Amino acid sequence: MKYLIVSDIHGSLPALEKALDFYRKQHCDMMLILGDILNYGPRNSIPEGINPKEIAARLNDMADKIIAIRGNCDSEVDQMLLDFPILADYALIVDNEKRLFLTHGHVYNEEKLPKGKHDFLFYGHTHLWKLEKKADMTICNTGSITFPKGGNPPTFAVYENNKVSIYELNGTLLKEI
């Protein structure tokens, strides 16, 4: 399976459209969303092209190809607009015997690891992308497609066949493990 992994959309339709364009062109099988889908939150500015209803419509069209978890800006009201579950704090995917732990980052992260063995930890929340191998786990913060921090460009990740890649929203490859 080829997974497109995004976090921190924060209601920006133009950012989501670019990610979905990459999803289609790269023939991804599923989209993994690591939270903060529709709302921008009180600490962020209003994002370019804010349009939560249209984001919900676009994602609902592919609901059977999405696994999503709750971010700190997601709520029960957001869930009412979406046709796929978003209120769990984490999801565990097993792909070719590799365990992928998906979370937003405000509950679990590399400083507060979940219990159990995981081959990959994917999170967002900080809006700072990161990809590194630590001991027996690969850690990936996908960054944010809408509000990147630290002078970084908007980013997302792809997972396929035990390989993680970080891309800029424009499709430029930044790093691979």
User: For position 69, which CATH number holds?
Assistant: 3.60.21.10
**Domain count within the chain:** 1
Can you read off the two tokens belonging to residue 160?
Answer: 């396929």
C-alpha span between 89 and 47 (Å, rounded): 24
At 63, the pLDDT band (50, 70, 90 cuts) reads: very high
C-alpha span between 89 and 70 (Å, rounded): 5
At 48, the pLDDT band (50, 70, 90 cuts) reads: confident
Pairing of strands 163-168, 155-160: antiparallel
At 43, the pLDDT band (50, 70, 90 cuts) reads: confident
pLDDT at 42: 81
pLDDT at 44: 79
Provide the 3-class DSSP secondary structure of residue 54: helix
pLDDT score of 76 more than 90? yes
User: 106-157 pLDDT, tens per residue?
Assistant: 999 999 998 999 999 999 999 999 999 998 999 999 999 999 999 999 999 9
Edge-to-edge strands, sheet with 155-160: 66-68, 30-33, 2-6, 155-160, 163-168, 173-176
Task: Please check whether residue 67 is in contact with residue 33, taking contact to mean a CB–CB distance below 8 angstroms.
Answer: yes
Domain that includes residue 23, residue range: 2-176
Average pLDDT, the chain: 96
